[in-house]
């Protein structure tokens, strides 16, 4: 594709998850800009990537209930200026900054912090561990596993068959990110 900016409205909606439960293969290894829409086709996030497919996979685990539709424009070579121009143009066309590019940016872009969803019992246990870092790491790992299982069951309920593997080394910090 050329570096001409296509309007968001001119692009076709692509299902985030196809009938086989997979992400769209047509974006695998592709460089470009993508808009992510919820079930009602309301724009949630606009991003760009050197590999759209991998980025979409990350967004799906971070925001599984907000990733239903896509619009994509690919370019041939990485060029941050062009990518940022397309993203800015789409956001301007949308008329407002999507929450994923504003207040909820960390939820879309950063590893999942399981510490933020600890139960009262988990918080009490964590705070009760004074000088034992190994015990703290073990507790955080268990919290991360619980959150991981919740995410995986949400994805399974949506019919996702894509292989999802979280980085095991981050779990002891209470973080979840794809490997």
Mean pLDDT, residues 20-43 taken together: 97
- Asked whether the predicted pLDDT for residue 1 surpasses 50, the reply is no
Percent with pLDDT over 90 in the chain: 96
The predicted-structure confidence for 99-126, as pLDDT tens digits, reads as follows 999 999 999 999 999 999 999 999 999 9
Q: For residue 68, which of 154, 150, 131 has the smallest C-alpha distance? A: 154
Q: Where are the domains of the chain?
A: 8-105, 112-176
Mean pLDDT in residue range 46-67:
97
Query: What pLDDT is recorded for position 3?
Result: 55
User: 12-39 in b/e burial notation, b at 16+ Cβ within 10 A?
Assistant: eebebbeeeeebbeebeebbbbbbbbbe
pLDDT score of 131: 86
Right CATH for 8-105 from 3.30.70, 3.40.50, 2.60.120, 3.40.1440: 3.40.1440
pLDDT of residue 177: 95
Percent of the chain as helix, strand, coil, to the nearest 5: 45, 15, 40
Banded model confidence at residue 35, pLDDT cuts 50, 70, 90: very high
pLDDT value at 2 more than 70? no
| 64 touches 151 (CB < 8 A) | yes
Q: How much is the average pLDDT of 134-147?
A: 95
Residue 23: partners with Cβ closer than 8 Å, 6 or more residues away: 16, 17, 53, 56, 57, 60, 162
The SS3 assignment for 84 reads helix
Q: Supply 160's token pair.
A: 């996702």
Distance CA 142, CA 115 (A): 11
């Amino acid at each position: 594709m050329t570096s001409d900016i296509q309007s968001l409205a001119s692009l076709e909606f692509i299902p985030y998850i196809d009938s086989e439960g997979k992400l769209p293969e047509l974006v695998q290894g592709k460089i470009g800009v993508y808009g992510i829409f919820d079930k009602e086709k309301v724009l949630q996030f606009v991003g760009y990537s050197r590999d759209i497919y991998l980025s979409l996979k990350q967004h799906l685990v971070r925001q599984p209930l907000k990733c239903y539709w896509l619009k994509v424009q690919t370019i041939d070579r990485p060029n941050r200026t062009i990518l940022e121009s397309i993203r800015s143009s789409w956001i301007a066309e949308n008329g407002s900054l999507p929450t994923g590019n504003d207040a909820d940016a960390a939820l879309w872009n950063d590893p999942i912090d399981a510490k933020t969803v600890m139960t009262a019992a988990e918080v009490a246990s964590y705070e009760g561990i004074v000088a034992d870092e190994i015990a703290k790491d073990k507790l955080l790992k268990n919290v991360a596993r619980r959150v991981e299982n919740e995410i995986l069951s949400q994805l399974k309920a949506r019919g996702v068959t894509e292989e999802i593997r979280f980085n095991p080394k981050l779990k002891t910090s209470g973080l979840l990110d794809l490997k």
